[in-house]
Amino acid sequence: MSKKVISTDIVLVDIIDFSLLPMNEQLEIISYLSLTYKKMIFKMLKASAIPMDKMLLGIIPTGDGFYCILHPSLQGFGPILGLSFIHFSDFIAKEYAYFKGIRVAVHTGNVHQFEDILGHENFIGDGLNECARYVAIKNLVASTVIISDKAYDSLQEFLNIHKDYHTLLEKCEFRRSSLHTFQDKHNIIHSGYLIWMRQGGIIPPPQPSWVVQSKKH
């Protein structure tokens, strides 16, 4: 067990009304969604020439979806990954009429990594709980990404470093809402933004410097 606190982006994907589906439809949709997103992630990894563990520290299943814990070196990329998940969900909706879409929340927060009872790497922490508060907002529109104010600050820092991504988001007609403030069930105030792209797509993470340098030699 590591006592080191990891500060990074957390992406939560929530399947709308998943628990209301019959068991056979739950299995059908989660199997197809898992396979589809697996292909999407591997396509992103290939484009960026990085291994999985340099993009994601882990994926944690939930009752209605999953968390993605990004590698800390990609802090700020979480909102962009969330937009890619939303883009791909449109294709899933064409395959299954009962699929109502997904909600995606992104937060920059703290997690701890530990080994679970089966010997697998797992995560706990305030960051997971705080991220879940955003996806639980009532009347959150389907096929939207809501990001915390902290995630938005991380995104801005990411775009300041990676100017090409700033240009790319402009081409995709990236938009954000005004600041939303809400109170959760514990009477804690949270703030965040809805984000979307008018021209959706799959955007891979940036290539790390060691990949770029190796191509020059």
Which pTM does this prediction carry? 0.92
Q: Is residue 166 one of the residues assigned to a domain?
A: yes
Question: What is residue 141's predicted lDDT score, i.e. its pLDDT?
Answer: 72
| Amino acid residing at 190 | H
- Look at the chain and report how many structural domains it folds into: 1
24 vs 172: CA distance, rounded Å: 37
Q: Is residue 1 one of the residues assigned to a domain?
A: no
Instruction: Name the E strands within 18-160.
Output: 56-61, 65-70, 102-115, 121-124, 144-148
Q: Is residue 66 one of the residues assigned to a domain?
A: yes
* pLDDT over threshold 70, residue 14: yes
Q: Is residue 137 one of the residues assigned to a domain?
A: yes
Question: What are the pLDDT digits (tens) for 90-124?
Answer: 778 888 989 988 999 999 999 999 999 989 889 99
Question: What is residue 142's predicted lDDT score, i.e. its pLDDT?
Answer: 67
Q: Checking DSSP bridges between strand 174-176 and strand 189-197, what pairing results, if any?
A: antiparallel
Q: Is residue 114 one of the residues assigned to a domain?
A: yes
SS3 content of the chain, % helix, strand, coil (to 5): 45, 30, 30
Is the pLDDT higher at 136 or at 11? 11
Once rounded to an integer, what is the mean pLDDT over residues 144-173?
A: 95
Lowest mean pLDDT among 99-108, 145-154, 162-171, 177-186: 177-186
Structural domain that includes position 96: 6-216
Question: What are the pLDDT digits (tens) for 60-78?
Answer: 999 899 999 999 999 999 9
Q: Is residue 168 one of the residues assigned to a domain?
A: yes
The CATH number of residue 97's host domain is 3.30.70.1230
